[in-house]
Amino acid sequence: MVIAVLAVQGAFAEHEQMLERLGVPYVELRKKEDLLQKYDGIILPGGESTVQGKLLKELDMFDTLKQQIENGIPVLATCAGLILLADKIENDEREYFKTLPVTVKRNAYGRQLGSFYTEQELTGIGVIPMTFIRAPYITDVGEGVEILAEENGHIVAVRGKNQLAMSFHPELDHDERIHKYFVDMISA
């Protein structure tokens, strides 16, 4: 198994460290040719969705990545990655892959609650640490999307078929269970 980590901007190195700890080989997606490699899953890291979206288009990676996701490759998306997958961003006109039928709100916690830590239950795993950094949350889910976790009444983790997406940053805490869950999703 090889996992591809989108590495154009944001917190990709932390995901790579997680994969190293799990002993899972990975490749980086930095340019168009990298998308021709053989890999079994994709991680879309947190960062700045507007910057990532712009770079993916400029680097001519956008359409191929969208195609791979639509074709069913397993995807783990965190924070900005969730925004890239969302069908709709309720407070922004921009749109990206639109492969996951959810509506998200960017920077949904406002300025004061820009960053915070909590621990909540995630279906199928148990109570896990959740670090939020200027995070979005999900305000609506469409057909076929399972809600996996909520925080204070807000949806913060979902699974829609091949796509596992969350508002928070599991790569920043010392708990490998989300990445392990993703690896199991790929193996299944």
Marked catalytic residue, from 15, 16, 171, 179: 171
Least distance in Å: CB of 38 to ligand GLN?
A: 28
Q: Between vectors from CA 48 to CA 139 and to CA 22, what angle results, nearest 5°?
A: 90
Q: What are the percentages of helix, strand and coil residues in the chain, rounded to 5? A: 30, 35, 35
Residue 17, number of CB atoms within 10 A of its CB:
11
| Segment interacting with ligand GLN, rule: CB under 6 A, options 59-67, 79-87, 120-128, 158-166 | 79-87
DSSP string, 31-95: SGGGGGS--SEEEE--S-HHHHHHHHHHTT-HHHHHHHHHTT--EEEETHHHHHHEEEETT----
Binding residue for ligand GLN, selected from 106, 122, 162, 173, defined by CB under 6 A: 106
Least distance between ligand GLN and beta carbon 172 (Å): 10
Give Rg (Cα) of the chain: 15
Cα-based distances in Å from 127 to 22, 64, 105, 149, 173: 20, 36, 24, 10, 13
Cβ neighbour number for residue 149 with a 10 Å cutoff: 21
> Closest distance between ligand GLN and the C-beta of residue 11, in Å?
7
79, 90, 146, 174: the catalytic one is 79
Q: Which is catalytic among the residues 169, 174, 176, 179? A: 169
151 is catalytic: no
Q: Whose Cβ is closer to ligand GLN: residue 1's or residue 113's?
A: 113
The reply to whether 48 belongs to the active site is no
Per the CB < 8 A criterion, the answer to whether 11 and 35 are in contact is no
**Residues between 23 and 62 that touch ligand GLN (CB under 6 A):** 46-49
**Annotation marks residue 70 as catalytic:** no
* Binding flag, residue 79, ligand GLN (CB under 6 A): yes
Report if residue 167 touches ligand GLN, rule: CB under 6 A. no
Q: Answer yes or no whether residue 133 interacts with ligand GLN by CB under 6 A.
A: yes
- Residues classed as catalytic: 79, 169, 171
- Which residues of the shown chain bind ligand GLN in the complex (CB under 6 A)? 46-49, 79-80, 83, 106-107, 133-135
